[in-house]
Amino acid sequence: MNGKWQRRLIQLSPWIVCVRCLFFVHVEVRFVSGRSTEVIISAGIDIGTSTTKLVISRLSLRNTAGMTHMPRIEITDKEVVYESPIFRTPLVEGKEIDMEKIDEIVRDQYEEAGIKADEIQTGAVIITGETATKSNAKDMINHLSDHAGKFLVATAGPDLESIIAAKGSGAYELSKQTNKTIANIDIGGGTANVAVYHYGKLLGTCTLHVGGKLIEFNQNEIKYIADPIKKVTRDLGLTVQEGEPVDPEKLSSVTDYMAEVVSKMLNGKLEGDEPLLLGHKPKWNRPVDKIMFSGGVSECIYFPDSCASNHLYDDIGVLLAKSLRDNQQLSEKEWIKPNETVRATVLGAGTQTTEISGATIQVDNQTLPLRNMPVHIINFDEEFDRALQQLKNNIKAGVEVFDPNREGIKIAVYLSDLPLLGFKDIQRLAEALTNAFNDDLSNQPIVIVLERDLAKSLGQALQVVNKNREIVCIDQIKVENGDYLDIGSTLDSGVVPVVIKTLTFH
């Protein structure tokens, strides 16, 4: 075994890592209980406010259906085989991400892990917190997704970050095992991203301007205060300014206020004009029973002795952790220690973002991969004939939303709540879709996404009436309004990796 791999043997999240040398082979097929298992390599790269991290994982795909049933390929095992050190996120004069240094970090860590970029078949680059506000954030994340792997998708946005962190910390899995409502609070340098789950169902997300890097020091002098915190200090009647000496008592008042806002948010008592609220108010309608903290600040919550000095990170992270521990309302809830703290988001990005399509699909391999497609949802919850008549107008409405200037943006159409369809109904649906795409999306592939197992039948019907048109028709995927879709190339098992995501830059 490669010595570099041996040094990285670790226990992470719900999975105990068993590292086996890959010898630069990107797909491995073995037989387990008479069924073939395909293994694909996934990467997660997290470019955060304070730190940048990377993980390499192996995802095992297997047909979980019985021999007499329609094949259903699922991810049945996830192994983290390499985790990078935690790097300070490199910035240029604090205003831009240093793209060259990020590139260098990723290249070096791939080499350390014994992996080449073209072996990476899925995963995500996620840009989080205050880093998403940098002027070149979108360029940076798109550059990495294009150059760091075959199908490494670009994601950004606080709601998605909340979900990914909750999956990486173990809160999501724990919620499926209890009838209690669990909130994961991922606190990094610039934001606190919260996701609330009950029985594995997402009840809601919320993001706050709460983080360690919102006030930074230079030795014993304040060198940076984020704008939302300046408003908080004014509201509190505190004089806290850049260039002043660090006053722990004043700063503790600020972090106590942050902890109080976190408590109000969890209890549904947050006001819409709260200066620390980033985006929408919390929307869950159940009381939160258990709380779990992840992110960089959580290290100082669960391991306070290792964060004894306020100047350990030259920011308010240590004080914030103490304020959270000491908050009376938070202490009344049950605290759960996560499986992963500081690496929760990157672990979620590398192991929890990929879904697998159904095995009975119709795709044109020359068309794939497809990236960053907005999803337009068309509901068939009314009478089928009427829905068919409205199909062209509904697709036209989607084009007006996602491509108003007719720039040729590829759009995926999701057909929701389809009834049971016979052969003739499938043909009628294919003809209606063809007419609609020919009118408004004539210069792009027909991309159809379904939840029910109809992709093969509908795809073949579309191919009959569109002999020279590229067709991508996949199923067993659930999407919502506002989602974007990335569809990877066909794997050996006949399925395609799919990532459902958001792309929101501040």
pLDDT digits (tens, 9 = 90+) for 315-336: 999 999 999 999 999 999 999 9
Q: Do 277 and 258 meet the contact criterion of CB atoms below 8 Å apart?
A: no
> Which tokens in the block code for residue 369?
């991969």
pLDDT higher than 60, residue 505: no
Q: How far apart are CA 475 and CA 376, in angstroms?
A: 15
pLDDT tens per residue, range 89-132: 898 877 788 999 999 999 999 999 999 988 888 877 877 767 77
Per-residue exposure over 367-383, b if at least 16 CB sit within 10 Å of its own CB, e if not:
bbebbebbbbbbebeee
> Other CB atoms closer than 10 Å to residue 67's CB: what's the count?
8
Q: Do 372 and 409 meet the contact criterion of CB atoms below 8 Å apart?
A: no
Kindly report whether the global pTM for this prediction surpasses the value 0.85.
no
177 phi, psi to nearest 5 deg = -105, 0
Beta strands in 128-210 (DSSP E): 153-156, 182-187, 192-198, 201-208
The answer for residues whose C-beta is within 8 angstroms of residue 490's C-beta and 6 or more apart is 363, 365, 368, 496
Q: What pLDDT is recorded for position 260?
A: 97
Measure CA 307 to chain center.
29
Q: What pLDDT is recorded for position 429?
A: 94
Task: Give how far Cα 483 sits from Cα of 156, 280, 349, 406, 480, Å.
Answer: 12, 17, 16, 20, 6
Angle at 343 between CA 87 and CA 168, to 5 degrees: 155
- On the 0-12 / 13-18 / 19+ scale of CB atoms within 10 A, 384 is middle
> Which tokens in the block code for residue 274?
């709260």
20 phi, psi to nearest 5 deg = -125, 140
449 three-state secondary structure: strand
Helix/strand/coil percentages in the chain, nearest 5: 35, 30, 40
The helix-helix angle for 99-113 and 137-147 (nearest 10°) equals 30
pLDDT tens per residue, range 235-260: 999 989 999 999 999 999 999 999 99
**What domains does the chain contain, in order, with CATH numbers?**
3-155+349-354 (3.30.420.40), 171-338 (3.30.420.40), 359-475 (no CATH)
Confidence of residue 426 (pLDDT cuts 50, 70, 90): very high
In 3D, which of 172, 185, 193 has the Cα closest to residue 128? 193
> Which tokens in the block code for residue 105?
């970090």
In 3D, which of 227, 215, 173 has the Cα closest to residue 197? 173
Average pLDDT on 186-193 reads: 89
Confidence of residue 26 (pLDDT cuts 50, 70, 90): very low
> Which tokens in the block code for residue 506?
């501040």
Task: Give how far Cα 274 sits from Cα of 49, 208, 211, 213, Å.
Answer: 22, 9, 16, 19
Q: How far apart are CA 214 and CA 314, in angstroms?
A: 11
- State the chain's mean pLDDT as an integer: 80
Q: Specify the higher pLDDT residue, 302 or 479.
A: 302
The helix-helix angle for 158-169 and 344-351 (nearest 10°) equals 90
Average pLDDT on 33-62 reads: 78
Q: How far apart are CA 370 and CA 372, in angstroms?
A: 7
The helix-helix angle for 248-266 and 317-326 (nearest 10°) equals 50
Average pLDDT on 460-475 reads: 90
Q: Is the dihedral of CA 273, 274, 275, 276 positive or negative?
A: negative
Residue 11, CB-side half-sphere exposure with 13 Å CA sphere: 3
Q: What pLDDT is recorded for position 288?
A: 95
In 3D, which of 343, 327, 345, 318 has the Cα closest to residue 291? 327
> Other CB atoms closer than 10 Å to residue 168's CB: what's the count?
31
Least confident of 67-71, 118-122, 179-183, 230-234: 67-71
Q: Specify the higher pLDDT residue, 321 or 352.
A: 321
pLDDT higher than 50, residue 32: no
Residue 360 DSSP symbol: S
Q: How far apart are CA 185 and CA 331, in angstroms?
A: 14
Confidence of residue 501 (pLDDT cuts 50, 70, 90): low
Average pLDDT on 266-289 reads: 89
Pairing of strands 290-294, 334-336: parallel
> Which tokens in the block code for residue 198?
């009950």
Q: Which residues pair with 195 in a beta bridge?
A: 184, 205
Beta strands in 337-424 (DSSP E): 354-356, 362-363, 370-379, 412-416
